[in-house]
Structure 1
């Protein structure tokens, strides 16, 4: 029974530390070929975590709708960033919590798209590996 509570505590700690998009907001319009600042938020946590890295991808929804698009099943599309993730508090934006900004250049394709972030981290005292996916639907248009 003790093992169950330990595993439950680890699972709760792991799910409370996921990354998500602050910028862009859902349904934002981004010009093709433009460089845009993307802001990724990291949830605060009481347990220790080690960021292993993130990837940010862009998938165009050729069906005209992204309603059923799931990056964890359908893929991330074009990888716009792949590397370290080191979220920090920004004194000029304290309400954003832990976050990091990335300047990314968007490809020339247009239409509804899914911007996704995949995050790998090791959480807790025993460093349980976790894999998280978050996404936001945007529009690439002039």
Structure 2
């Protein structure tokens, strides 16, 4: 029973580390060749953690189904540190990144992909997750 409890606690602490894409929202219209703000949110957790960084990419999926960010990040728009902080009391800590949608992006569905890396726990242990948000390129 102890091992089950330990496993459940570990799973919950890992889930608490999850980041989210706050902006752009699902289905938001973006323009090829123009700047776009990508907001990566990272709620606080009870376990200690150190942010390593994020990678933000863009893939066009106008003529094919969008693939998971775990499979492909696409054109890299940002690769670097991630330092989320509180800005409003109604939102979790976040950081905004201003990126440029590739000018070559096909009109139609596209996808913002994010790879988030952190170190969690007292060990610490490596944590990596992939996120995506579908947008519409005009």
- In the superposition, the TM-score normalised over structure 1's length comes to 0.87
Q: CA RMSD in A?
A: 1.5
Deviations along 1:90-141, one digit per CA (max 9) or x if unpaired, are 1xx2211110001111111122111011111111122121111111000111
State the Cα distance separating 1:3 from its structure 2 match. Answer: 4.8
Name the one with the larger helix percent. Answer: 1
Question: 5+ residue gaps in structure 2?
Answer: none
For residue 9 of structure 2, what is the aligned residue in structure 1?
A: 9
Could you tell me which of 47, 70, 73 is aligned with 1:72?
A: 70
| Alpha-carbon offset, residue 31 of structure 1 | 0.8
Question: Which 4+ residue blocks in structure 1 deviate beyond 6 angstroms?
Answer: none
Aligned positions of 1:48-67 closer than 5 A: 48-66=48-66
Partner of 1:100: 95
Instruction: Give the Cα–Cα distance (whole angstroms) in 1 for the partners of residues 13 and 52 of structure 2.
Output: 16
* Structure 2 counterpart of 1:129: 126
Gap regions ≥5 residues in structure 1: none
1:112 aligns with 2:91: no
Q: TM-score, normalised by structure 2?
A: 0.90
Matched residue SS, 1:71: coil
SS in 2 for 1:21: strand
Q: Displacement, 1:65?
A: 4.2
